[in-house]
Amino acid sequence: MGRKRLQEPADGRPTVHTVAARAGVSIASASRVLNGIGGSPETIRKVRAAAAEVGYVPNAIARSLQSQRTGLVALAVEDIGNPVYVEMMRAIEAVVASSGRQLLVHATGGRIDNETALLRRLANRYVDGMIVSPIRVTDDHLTALVDSPVPVVVVGQLGADAAVDNVRTDSRHGVALAVDHLVATGRRRIGFVNGPLDTVPGTARDAGFRAALTRHDIRCDEDLIEVGDFQYAAGRTATERLLARADPDALVCANDLIAVGALHALLAAGRQVPQDVAVVGMDDTELARMMFPQLSSVSLGSTERGRRAAELLLQRIADPTLPPRREQVPPSLAIRASSGTPLPAPRPGGPPTTHPTSEGVTS
């Protein structure tokens, strides 16, 4: 009889059937050999040869359907251009890789439909689990997170009652650290360049800023508060608007990208940093150390949060019955040249200098 090509898929790609037929064994034997379990030397030889001849490569989708796992983990963040997420991603990747899985990243661009769409898509078994760091959280969103078919860990603030693993920091406290430091170094006209107020971090930081001023008996001047989005360009233009109507001696910025924009606007306007205006950023990313002068910045422990989130996720994948857990990473302040305290320059890669606040918000 002629060649048997009955098992050959239309697509032309060899399957385990192809290999088995060519080697003259059953698909069970072929599969076993290809997975390195069992098989007589002769069978192994034949199957290996057949597989090599036809260029067999296993179909991971079919394998996953059978094994109920993909070996992939996803991270969904709003903006991958923000170095804070890059740092978080690096930490997560390290943990995830140690479990033999691979990390995939998806940038949602902050479009909330995009994020829920991703959840509904990826989470439906394309990945073994996912870490999500949403900046806006709707109820719809929340339910999508809670009854995701696949384990989910959220990085960021979340309603107290949400039954999802959650790693957070206290960014209100973080802003307080910045304000305390600036007040302690003699600044009084402290401005604030924030991100959108309809985001979770935006509202938290706004509240933190106002609370901190109040605690120092400083009146909150609305002219000193400006809002953009969490990007460099917005930080720059927002600062330009602020400078056009007010004269701050310090600026707190809701993240490092904004702080870089502010720095740029200040220098372009002829203000000296830190002599005329001190600047403190937030997230303490590599970007803060890349600036000249180097930026003081409030660390929200993104590396640590990423690491913990990944660990939580792996634990939950291993045992989905665990109760929801919540972890909190305390913020700390790294003081550098941009806020003018004449400290001996800290080692570039070293641990940030922390600065305790009087308010016991957290930790």
Q: Dihedral through CA 206, CA 211, CA 214, CA 216, nearest 10?
A: -110
Would you state the structure tokens that stand for residue 234, as one six-digit string?
């917005």
Decide if residue 170 touches a copy of itself (CB under 8 A). Answer: no
Decide if residue 148 touches DNA (CB under 7 A). Answer: no
Decide if residue 86 touches a copy of itself (CB under 8 A). Answer: yes
Decide if residue 112 touches a copy of itself (CB under 8 A). Answer: no
Is 42 or 139 the residue whose CB approaches DNA more closely? 42
Beta-carbon contacts of residue 154 (< 8 Å; ≥ 6 apart): 131, 132, 133, 134, 145, 162, 164, 165, 166, 167
Residue 80's binding partner among a copy of itself, DNA, none (Cβ under 5 to 8 angstroms by kind) is a copy of itself
Within 9-28, the residues that bind DNA by CB under 7 A are: 9-11, 13, 15-17, 24-28
Stretch touching a copy of itself by CB under 8 A, among 106-114, 134-142, 244-252, 308-316? 106-114
Is 17 or 216 the residue whose CB approaches a copy of itself more closely? 17
Within 175-214, the residues that bind a copy of itself by CB under 8 A are: none
Within 39-78, the residues that bind DNA by CB under 7 A are: 39-40, 42-43, 56, 58-59, 62-63, 65-68
Decide if residue 17 touches a copy of itself (CB under 8 A). Answer: no
Beta-carbon contacts of residue 235 (< 8 Å; ≥ 6 apart): 193, 228, 253, 257, 258, 259, 260, 261, 262, 265
Q: Which of 162, 133, 168 is nearest to 308 (CA)?
A: 168
Query: Residues 168, 212, 232, 299: which binds a copy of itself (CB under 8 A)?
Result: 232
Is 125 or 325 the residue whose CB approaches a copy of itself more closely? 125
Query: Is there a contact between 160 and 170 (Cβ–Cβ < 8 Å)?
Result: no
Contact residues toward a copy of itself (CB under 8 A) are: 11, 13, 55, 57-62, 64-65, 68, 70-72, 74, 80-81, 83, 86, 89-90, 93, 102-107, 109, 117-118, 120-122, 124-126, 147, 149, 232-233, 260-261, 263-264, 267-268, 286, 290, 292, 348-349
Contact residues toward DNA (CB under 7 A) are: 9-11, 13, 15-17, 24-29, 31-32, 34-35, 38-40, 42-43, 56, 58-59, 62-63, 65-68
